[in-house]
């Protein structure tokens, strides 16, 4: 399919063959799905305060004889807050419950709700291709109540990229044949509802979409026109091509943009990043650590035992006498005292206690039986020597 090229002055410049992406079948279901995914992902989560309507002290007892209770009065069990009281009678008003004034809201919106949605890459690309093909379908374009020139569809030349002022852009669009469409866009409607207070007072109608290959001066010129949008070829999506899930928006592609779509094969399976299976396997092999060979622990234990037994066989065996060697206690040499004259006085002055005498007798009796054994008694040798003397 060939389309004519028009420059900024409205003159015909030549023809261009449209790429295969514009010949996709019309799939309104896929287009709607892709648009709703974009809208949901843009949505900001909101919710009520968790304590909203629950700040009243509205406890009422349901037991008999209980103070501040509703038992036997003929009242319902709705929680109430007390305004005044006289004895056991209360003037109260319902609170806290959903059906009461100032009470909580039943099933209020939750701020934790997840609004995001997903769509498959191939599915999304097919939706974009389907919306691209319907851009040049006159029947669908007219169903959107747009005023289209007689020579539409066509492609604009790269001269439009140099337009920097909105007034110049309006003149060039009038020369191409969009005079009535610009009149339709100029009318704005005041939004009904509370949205007026939230920074979206006016509603503007969606109209022409400029598709450009690179950043240019035209971006600033388009920003001052209501309902007119401009986008890079690489950033096209289903919502821009089919606002409100309805395909058939007026789109003016530049000559360079269409060449890019054909050259890079945008929005096709070939444009997706290719995955080299060989390289991926090589990377995975590097990441995988080499596993150590499995070892039988029982076999290792047996081998260690055998080695120990072999070492013990080589060693010479010791006799029982050599094995049971006991160190003899060191003999303490006691020097005799020189004062022989005062021997009686020394014996009288220093005498061993009963426990010490008993230990000495035991040692004398047990001589010759166990000479090698060391006595376990701590006693002063000086005292004993003096007592013997």
Q: Are 16 and 258 in contact (CB under 8 A)?
A: yes
Q: How far apart are CA 142 and CA 139, in angstroms?
A: 5
pLDDT at 277: 54
Q: Are residues 252 and 339 in the same domain?
A: no
* Other CB atoms within 10 A of residue 205 CB: 17
pTM of the model: 0.65
Per-residue buried b or exposed e for 312-326, using 16+ beta carbons within 10 Å of the residue's own CB:
eeeeeeeeeeeeeee
Residue 316 lies in a domain: no
Instruction: Tell me which residues of the chain have a pLDDT lower than 50.
Output: 322-323, 340-349, 368-370, 374, 376-378, 380, 383, 385-387, 389
Helix (H) or strand (E) holding 16: strand 12-17
Sign for the CA dihedral angle at 162, 165, 169, 175 comes to negative
Instruction: List alpha helices for the chain, DSSP H.
Output: 28-42, 121-135, 138-143, 166-176, 179-186, 218-222, 238-241, 255-264, 277-287, 297-314, 320-323, 343-349, 354-365, 381-388
Beta-bridged to residue 212, according to DSSP, are 232
Q: How many domains does the chain have?
A: 2
- Out of 242, 271, 300, a domain closes at 271
pLDDT at 269: 87
Q: Are residues 165 and 249 in the same domain?
A: yes
- Out of 240, 271, 302, a domain closes at 271
Length of the chain: 389
Q: How far apart are CA 43 and CA 74, in angstroms?
A: 49
For residue 103, give the 3-state DSSP assignment.
Answer: coil
Q: Are residues 344 and 197 in the same domain?
A: no
* Other CB atoms within 10 A of residue 89 CB: 9
pLDDT at 67: 87
Residue 24 lies in a domain: yes
pLDDT at 345: 47
Residue 145 lies in a domain: yes
pLDDT at 6: 92
pLDDT at 361: 75
- Out of 271, 297, 321, a domain closes at 271
pLDDT at 117: 95
Q: Are residues 351 and 213 in the same domain?
A: no
pLDDT at 1: 83
Q: How far apart are CA 221 and CA 165, in angstroms?
A: 5
Residue 130 lies in a domain: yes
Residue 128 lies in a domain: yes
Helix (H) or strand (E) holding 212: strand 209-212
Residue 90 lies in a domain: no
pLDDT at 300: 86
Q: Are residues 220 and 338 in the same domain?
A: no
In this structure, what CATH number is given to the domain that contains residue 154?
A: 3.40.1370.10
Instruction: List alpha helices for 136-212, DSSP H.
Output: 138-143, 166-176, 179-186
Q: Are residues 246 and 354 in the same domain?
A: no
Q: Are residues 261 and 338 in the same domain?
A: no
Residue 157 lies in a domain: yes
Q: Are residues 212 and 357 in the same domain?
A: no
pLDDT at 258: 94
Q: Are 156 and 255 in contact (CB under 8 A)?
A: yes
Residue 282 lies in a domain: no
Q: Are residues 234 and 350 in the same domain?
A: no
DSSP3 helix / strand / coil % (the chain, rounded to 5): 40, 10, 50
pLDDT at 164: 92
Q: Are residues 17 and 150 in the same domain?
A: yes
Q: Are residues 125 and 241 in the same domain?
A: yes
Q: Are residues 232 and 344 in the same domain?
A: no
Domain of residue 351: give its range.
334-365+378-389
């Amino acid at each position: 399919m060939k389309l004519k090229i028009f420059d900024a002055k409205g003159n015909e410049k030549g023809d261009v063959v449209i790429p295969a992406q514009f010949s996709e079948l019309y799939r309104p279901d896929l287009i709607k799905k892709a648009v709703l995914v974009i809208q949901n992902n843009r949505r900001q989560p909101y919710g009520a305060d968790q304590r909203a309507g629950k700040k009243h002290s509205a406890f009422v007892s349901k037991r008999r004889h209980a103070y501040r209770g509703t038992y036997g009065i003929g009242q319902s069990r709705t929680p109430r807050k007390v305004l005044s009281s006289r004895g056991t009678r209360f003037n109260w008003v319902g609170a806290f419950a959903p059906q009461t004034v100032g009470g909580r809201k039943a099933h209020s919106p939750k701020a934790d709700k997840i609004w995001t949605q997903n769509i498959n890459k191939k599915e999304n690309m097919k939706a974009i291709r389907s919306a691209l093909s319907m851009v040049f379908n006159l029947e669908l374009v007219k169903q959107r109540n747009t005023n289209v020139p007689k020579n539409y569809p066509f492609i604009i030349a790269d001269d439009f990229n140099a337009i920097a002022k909105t007034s110049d852009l309006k003149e060039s669009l009038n020369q191409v044949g969009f005079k009535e469409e610009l009149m339709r866009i100029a009318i704005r409607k005041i939004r009904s509802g509370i949205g007026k207070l939230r920074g979206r007072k006016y509603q503007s109608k969606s109209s022409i979409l400029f598709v450009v290959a690179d950043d240019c001066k035209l971006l600033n010129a388009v920003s001052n026109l209501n309902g007119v949008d401009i986008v890079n070829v690489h950033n096209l999506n289903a919502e821009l091509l089919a606002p409100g899930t309805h395909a058939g928006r007026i789109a003016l592609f530049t000559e360079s943009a269409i060449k890019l779509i054909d050259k890079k094969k945008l929005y096709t399976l070939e444009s997706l990043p290719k995955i080299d299976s060989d390289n991926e396997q090589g990377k995975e092999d590097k990441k995988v650590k080499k596993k150590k060979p499995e070892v039988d622990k029982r076999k290792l234990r047996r081998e260690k035992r055998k080695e120990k037994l072999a070492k013990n066989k080589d060693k010479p065996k010791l006799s029982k006498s050599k094995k049971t060697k006991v160190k003899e206690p060191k003999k303490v040499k006691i020097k005799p005292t020189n004062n022989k004259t005062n021997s009686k006085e020394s014996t009288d002055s220093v005498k061993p206690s009963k426990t010490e005498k008993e230990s000495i007798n035991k040692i004398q009796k047990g001589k010759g039986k166990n000479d090698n054994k060391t006595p376990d008694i701590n006693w002063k040798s000086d005292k004993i020597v003096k007592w013997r003397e």
